[in-house]
Amino acid sequence: MTVLIKGGTVVNADQTYAADVLCSNGTIVEIGENLDAPSGATTVDAGGQYVMPGGIDPHTHMELPFMGTVASEDFESGTAAAAAGGTTMIIDFAIPNPQQSLLEAYHTWRGWAEKAVADYTFHVAVTWWDDSVHEEMGTLVREHGVNSFKHFMAYKGAIMADDEVLVNSFSRAIELGAVVTVHAENGELVYRLQQALFDSGMTGPEAHPLSRPPEVEGEAANRAIRIAEVLKVPLYIVHNSCRQSLEAITRARNEGQRVFGEVLAGHLLIDDSVYRHPDFEVAAAHVMSPPFRSKEHQDALWRGLQSGNLQTTATDHCCFCADQKAAGKDDFRLIPNGTGGVENRMEVLWHHGVGTGRLTMNEFVAVTSTNAAKIFNVYPRKGSVSVGADADIVVWDPEATKTISTKTDHQKVDYNIFEGMEIKGCASHTISRGKVIWADGKLNVERGAGRYVDRPPFADYYGALKIQAERAKPVPVDRG
């Protein structure tokens, strides 16, 4: 299929210029002024609009089995909803149960994802440790294009990774040239606070943020950073929600450590008052971890994004409907954790970021696409409008307006955390691998058209780190 995007302004993370973009056989083949449309080509009129790299959401959970149920969004509906909002690639998570083979979990998730309508790839979680995990991490990197491993520092009694697991897994990652990522919350403290709150008679959603205060996130973020510092492995901290974790990241980066931070669109825009809503269904719909915070933390997170100490934006898209959330009606600890947002991430960030002057257009592209592509080693194939890159493109209409509503969105969930938000700036066209799959408010997707994206390890980069580590070793002193 050949597509010519005509008359738009190309916006990459590093430059902005007027040009046409020609896509053929799934890649960008030419960029220039006044390009002629080949015979049979589809022409997209981008006049007055911006032509940007398709969004990359580096943190989603489609059809995740969790807390006794399964997320309502599957890979087909989830990637379709993403496309409607301008996102052309997701990075999901294969999460083994304790004692389960990493490879078995990975292949299970690969099977579920075969119905995706746009591209995808996986982080693989390390939830336990023995010699088989050590071996399978190597197999995943060498044979399956996995270059990132996730560690949950929360969820005691389930998938929580203790310090021993972290040290073993981080050490193996540096050998393989893989990035380590963490969900930073002190699981032991969360467990104790949950129990104390429940025992005191506080059983509703209002207890959820009290059981996971900012301090438990800040402690875990700092602990993961210091373990990574000793082992000299780059670290990516997911869904930072508070000032304390941001301060830990900023301090480490100022010291020269390679630490990357992700922030969710929801944590930038929603505050913790939602948990005190009198309607259980509304309050429970917002239960996720880490929870939404007070406004002071939102201000800090915006500053982190503007300063570059937070590099990526995501959603942690993990949808549970009202009947699933009702499992915790009498015990907030049993409310399945998760919210949606994969369809709305880019438009709410444009409206509240670019639209308010907090972000430039180029910074918007960086935090919604390019930085994730670079951190997870798929740039410039992804995250770039350039010749030779995959033709994953969003044509962005800065004048389009909409009111976000579950009545009109495409996510498979009965509540939208951005419900009723009026925004300006939306995707008019989304192009995945050179095919227009979203145009003028309509999806044109094909089940299974998405492809798994291999992500190679960072061999050269990690080789340099090993050299630095060797040079840093103490030199023996000959004392005669």
Q: What pLDDT is attached to residue 193? A: 98
* Partners of residue 293 on adjacent β-strands: 271
| Contact between residue 168 and residue 136 where contact means Cβ atoms under 8 Å apart | no
> Residue 1 falls within a domain, yes or no?
no
What is the distance between the alpha carbons of residues 307 and 419, in angstroms, rounded to a whole number? 29
Is the four-CA dihedral 296, 264, 171, 179 of positive or negative sign? Answer: negative
Q: Domain tally for the chain? A: 1
Please state, in angstroms and as integers, the Cα–Cα distance from residue 211 to each residue in 220, 241, 288, 329, following that order.
15, 14, 12, 17
> Residue 480's pLDDT is what?
44
Nearest CA-CA partner of 183 in 130, 235, 106 = 235
Does residue 80 lie within any of the structural domains?
yes
Identify the CA nearest to 337 among candidates 277, 386, 266.
266
pLDDT, one tens digit per residue, over 418-447 is 999 999 999 999 999 999 999 999 999 999
Residue 399 CA, distance from chain mean position: 27
Ranges of residues in the chain with a pLDDT under 70 are: 460-480
In a domain? residue 409: no
Question: Is 15 inside any structural domain?
Answer: no
The pLDDT of residue 479 is 46
Query: In Å, what is the CA distance from 366 to each residue of 52, 197, 306?
Result: 10, 41, 11
Q: CATH number, domain at 77? A: 3.20.20.140
Given this model, what pLDDT does residue 468 score?
52
- Among 39, 42, 58, smallest CA distance to 5 is for 42
Whether the ω angle into residue 291 lies within 30 degrees of 0, i.e. cis, is: no
Strand order in the sheet with 393-403: 16-18, 9-11, 50-53, 393-403, 422-432, 435-439, 442-443
Residues in contact with 173: Cβ distance below 8 Å, sequence separation at least 6, in sequence order: 137, 149, 179, 180, 233
Q: Tell which phi-psi region holds residue 162, choosing left (phi > 0), alpha (psi between -120 and 50) or beta.
A: beta
Closest CA to 271 of 243, 293, 302, 288: 293
Quick check: 429 and 400 in contact, CB under 8 A? no
Q: Does 135 map to a domain?
A: yes
CA distances from 47 to 7, 14, 346, 395, 449 (A): 5, 21, 20, 10, 28
The token pair at 149 is 């491993």
Residue 4 falls inside a structural domain = no
Q: Is 391 within a domain?
A: no
Q: Cβ contacts of residue 148 below 8 Å, gap of 6+? A: 91, 123, 124, 178, 179, 180, 181, 236, 376, 455
Whether 115 and 84 have beta carbons less than 8 Å apart is answered as no
What integer pLDDT is reported at residue 122 of this predicted model? 98
Residue 47 lies in a domain: no
Question: What pLDDT, on a 0 to 100 scale, did the predictor assign at position 237?
Answer: 98
Query: How much is the pLDDT for 1?
Result: 87
Q: Which structural domain range is residue 93 located in?
A: 53-385+453-459
Q: pLDDT tens, 164-203?
A: 999 999 999 999 999 999 999 999 999 999 999 999 999 9
